[in-house]
Structure 1
Amino acid sequence: MKLLNTVLINSLMVSVISFAAGVSLSLAPTSLAYAQAASDVKPGEKRTRRTPALRSRVYEQLSRAQTQGDAGDVPGAIAILDEVKDKISSMNSYERSMMYNFYGFVYYNDEQFAKAIENFELAVEQQPIPVNFEKTTLFSLSQLHMMQGNYDKTIEYLEKWEALNDGVIPPKNYVLKAQAHYQNKNYAESASYIEQAIEGHEAEGYLPDEGWLILQRAVYYELKQPEKVKDILAKMIRLYDSPKYWIQLAGMYGELGEEKTQLAMMESAYQMGYVESGADLFNLAQLYYYHEVPYKGALVMQQALESGTLERNLRNLKFLATCWQAAKEDEKAIPVMQTASSLASDGELDAQLGHLFYNLEDYSKAVAASRLALEKGVKKPGAVHMVLGLSLYNQRKFVEALDELAKAEAFPASRSTAKQWASFVSREQRDFEILKQQAESI
């Protein structure tokens, strides 16, 4: 059943396109203490790249810039870094890289992201520099490009990071890569990377971040693999028992044609207090109606309308009346339908009211409702003339009844039935007149 599809689709897209799928942007300059230590490798330690040392005079200037930056004095920090840059010809590769790194950090904190990216890129261009420092800067660049919507660049810098890596790739790298591919609509590639991230994280004994599962779910939805989406949502319910996941999983069962399970999921969510929004309550009521449980659908609609969760508009009132009518609760359907008909521009609801009143043998109200329906306009006027004619007949208004039945004969859909009733009413009229005369003579 697909009546939840729109809600589901809207729900699936939430947060996926934002930079929030479990990888937070956390940029910080390589600390000066680390910078010195990284250039002074102890004897016996594995050295993958020989790098020059960070000299004390450069260290002191960068330390001053860091202090100014930490204090929020961006112009002051930039001025100090500019002083350092004036002596760039006398600086070694590591010192130049650290200088550009600090430029990038200051600009990043001031939300000047284009300048931050420019300087971080210059930082990694200075070679040789320590491998770990280069990797940290490359990852920062991939994050910044992701923020700016430069998804190809995000992937490019992640792959440069991987080229330097000689160990296990952390899940956060795979997640960022998956996000970039998702944004580029490379859904198969995105699926591969988010799977690796989740599987690797779980293999280490950790639970996957909720945002990772949100991304994974969205990827498989785009790949039109509803079974996978269903399984991911079931997992999200187990790990992060959020109301919205119950609603979305119910929607996926509808997509898969498992309609009984869809209703069971929605009903369970409702009983747990998870079905709260007007849209979800309306969908639940529709599910009850289409699964031939209209009484429950009417109760859900009525409670939602009384609480104000659903607006008392034409659509909602009309559907509530339909539910009551399907549940054989005509007396409850009538007042709702009367309110709804006052909001409608056509006479369809008035025609239904006329039929309801006729069934309840309230012929005067049936006549009034039917005449209003014809006045406002209906799709099947012949049927309304029939109800009007029969209601008038039961009021012993034979001439008016025959007139309405004659009008019903003008429409092909009601012609045959109208002729039969006209013959019957004519006989009844004659019999009534005879009995009336006999009574008068006595």
Structure 2
Amino acid sequence: MTKSNMKTSVKALSLVFVLSSTLLVAGFSAPSLAQEASSERKTQRVPTLRAKVYDQLSRAQTAADAGKPKEAFAILDEVKDKANSMNSYEQAMMYNFYGFIHYNLEQFDQAIASFEEVVKQQPIPTSFEQATLFSLAQLHMMRGNYDSTIEFIEKWEAIQKEIAPGVEIPAKNLVLKAQAMYQKQDYAKASAYINQAVKQQENSKEGYQVDENWYVLQRAVYFELKQPEKVKDVLLKLVKQYEKPAYWIQLAGMYGELGDEKQQLAYMEIAYQMDYIATGSDIFNLSQLYYYHQVPFKAALLMESGIKQGKLSKDERNLTFLAQAWSFAKENEKAVPVMMAAAKLAKDGELDAQLAQTYLNMEKWQQAIDSSITALEKGGLRNEGTVHLVLGMAHFNLGDYNVALNELAEAEKFNSSKGMAQQWLKFVQTEKATTERLQAQLANSGDNSYL
């Protein structure tokens, strides 16, 4: 799993939290909010929302719901003109409506400004203030204002500590802070927050399932902290709880990164059986695993299938690997046409050299010679000496001893093929001498039947 893929999977987390529905706009009740007070805030008397203000705000809401934002803003502006005669609660509700309409119009910066005015009005009901603070944290997260996100969520928490001391911070707050810290690239703090949120949810008496996106964020944080073992553990949870193909592939990749190739292959095999191996890159990766684990026939079959289905292109890389897999599986007849196709696409002669070696193994001497010559003509060879060695061996098998000796002498000039070339030189020289001696003896005896 690459870093870019990991980041892509987390990118959407900034929008995980939909703006809180507790903006207290739709269906608000004037008397209920006005009566609220906490144990710490009982001395803070919250003013009531008077009926005449309530009626005006209701008119604005009706216009907004009818898709008439200009009319709604005009009504609110009329209310605002009388702000001097309004109490803190009434002004807060007015700004709340401004924010609500701006938000629906996707005017997020104006919405933020309006909601910030809401919490400036004091005193207001505690639940109203907290709901607005949380919405502000979410909006700032959407706008990429990560410091402000943390600022407003911590203001929410400060109020919570007053009204409910000793009660743990809700997991959703911790996740929002973790998101902001992740975006700020403070991965250590992000890890602390998301780990606490996940632990809190996993240990919940209600048995709530951890939100999928929380695990995604936790995995991303561990990835950034270069803790692959923990990334793997999170992926195991994702595989178990959320049946998605990508998680199986990523889990296999993490086992590979941890050096556990057997588990990597096992999970890729499971994914394949579940039809999760769908992309060309996944097909190629599984084929490589088969090849690495000495199962070249499966590698070749999978590659061939991927090419036939159009999921893998018939390019040099894929054809070369397919040819290598067939060769490794001792299926030379299948390997040759694929290698020939790959060699035609290559600018250098490396594949032609491999083809020559394959022909040599198949005892097709002339084809081995032809491919070797093509390889030398194209050039760009990693080991030119080996090509001359193949030429020497092929010419020897055709009985062209002098040409074979010349090619072996060329192979001897390269360190990588020097030892083998010297052994073959001695062998060919001996065979040549033996053949010439036999021919001389037969000629002297007058028996030309074997010449």
Identity %: 53
* Aligned partners of 1:49 and 1:130 also within 8 Å: no
- Is the CA contact (8 Å cut-off) linking 2:405 and 2:429 kept in structure 1? no
Instruction: State the aligned residue count.
Output: 434
Shift of 1:47: 4.6
Aligned AA for 2:362? L
SS at structure 2 position matched to 1:17 = helix
- Secondary structure of 2:28's partner? helix
The residue aligned with 1:99 is 94
Question: 1:22 touches 1:172 (CA, 8 Å); kept in 2?
Answer: no
Q: Deviations over 1:45-81 (max 9, x none)?
A: x957311111122112111111111122222111111
**Cα contact 1:20–1:211 (8 A) shared by 2:** no
How far, CA to CA, are the matches of 1:108 and 1:210 in structure 2? 27
Partner of residue 80 from structure 1, selected from 75, 79, 82: 75
Does structure 1 conserve the Cα–Cα contact (< 8 Å) formed by 2:98 and 2:114? yes
Q: Following superposition of structure 1 onto structure 2, how do residues 349-388 of structure 1 map, counting pairs within 5 Å?
A: 349-377=351-379, 378-388=381-391
Q: Which amino acid aligns with 2:248?
A: W
Residue 134 of structure 2 is aligned to residue 139 of structure 1: yes
Quote the offset at 1:286 in angstroms.
1.1
5+ long unaligned stretches in structure 1: none
RMSD over aligned Cα, in angstroms? 2.3
CA shift digits 1:323-378 (9 cap, x unpaired): 12122222221111111101101111111111111111111111111111111112
Which shows bigger deviation, 23-32 or 166-175?
Answer: 23-32
Question: Which residue matches 2:274?
Answer: 272
Residue 62 of structure 1 is matched in structure 2 by 57
Is 1:420–2:426 an aligned residue pair? yes
Pairing of 1:25-424 with structure 2 (within 5 A): 25-27=19-21, 28-31=23-26, 33-40=28-35, 47=42, 49-165=44-160, 166-167=163-164, 168=167, 169-202=169-202, 203=204, 204-377=206-379, 378-416=381-419, 417-418=421-422, 419-424=425-430
Higher-RCO chain (CA-CA 8 Å, sequence separation at least 6): 1
Q: CA deviation at 1:18?
A: 2.1
Native 8 Å contact 1:155 1:177 kept in 2? yes
Q: Deviations over 1:245-286 (max 9, x none)?
A: 111111111222222111111112112211111111111111
Within 2, Cα distance between the matches of 1:108 and 1:60? 22
Q: Is the 8 A contact 2:30 2:54 kept in 1?
A: no
Q: C-alpha separation between the residues in 2 aligned to 1:428 and 1:358?
A: 24
Contact 1:22 1:175 in 2 (8 A): no
**TM-score normalised over the length of structure 1:** 0.92
Segment of structure 1 superposing worse, 396-405 or 143-152: 396-405
- Which letter maps to 2:243? D
> 1:16 aligns to what SS in structure 2?
helix
Deviations 1:144-202 (A, max 9, x none): 00000001100110010011113443322221111111111222222222223223333
Give the 5 Å matches for 1:421-440.
421-424=427-430, 426-427=432-433, 430-431=436-437, 433-434=439-440, 437=443, 440=448
- C-alpha distance in structure 2 between counterparts of 1:200 and 1:91, whole Å: 43
What is the match of residue 13 of structure 2? 19
Distance, in Å, in 2 between the alignment partners of 1:310 and 1:421 is: 46
TM-score w.r.t. the length of structure 2 is 0.90
- DSSP 3-state at the match of 2:138: helix
| CA offset digits 1:23-51 (Å, max 9, x no partner) | 22245443463233211469x9x957311
| 1:432 to 1:26, Cα distance in 2 relative to 1, 3 A | farther
1:13 deviates by 2.4
**Relative to 1, partners in 2 of residues 1:23 and 1:119: Cα closer, same or farther, differing over 3 Å?**
same
Q: 1:92 to 1:373 in 2, by over 3 A?
A: same
Question: CA–CA distance in 2 between the matches of 1:199 and 1:414?
Answer: 62
Residue 421 (structure 1) shift: 4.6
Distance 1:366 1:18 in 2: 56
CA distance in 2, matches of 1:432, 1:340: 45
Inter-CA distance 339–432: structure 2 relative to 1 (3 Å threshold): farther
SS of aligned partner of 1:15: helix
Tell me the amino acid that sits aligned with residue 15 of structure 1. S
Structure 2, gaps ≥5 residues long:
none
CA contact (8 A) 1:402 1:426 kept: no
Q: Deviation of residue 12 (structure 1)? A: 2.6
Distance 1:96 1:428, change over 3 A: farther
Of residues 327-336 and 152-161 in structure 1, the stretch that sits farther from structure 2 once superposed is: 327-336
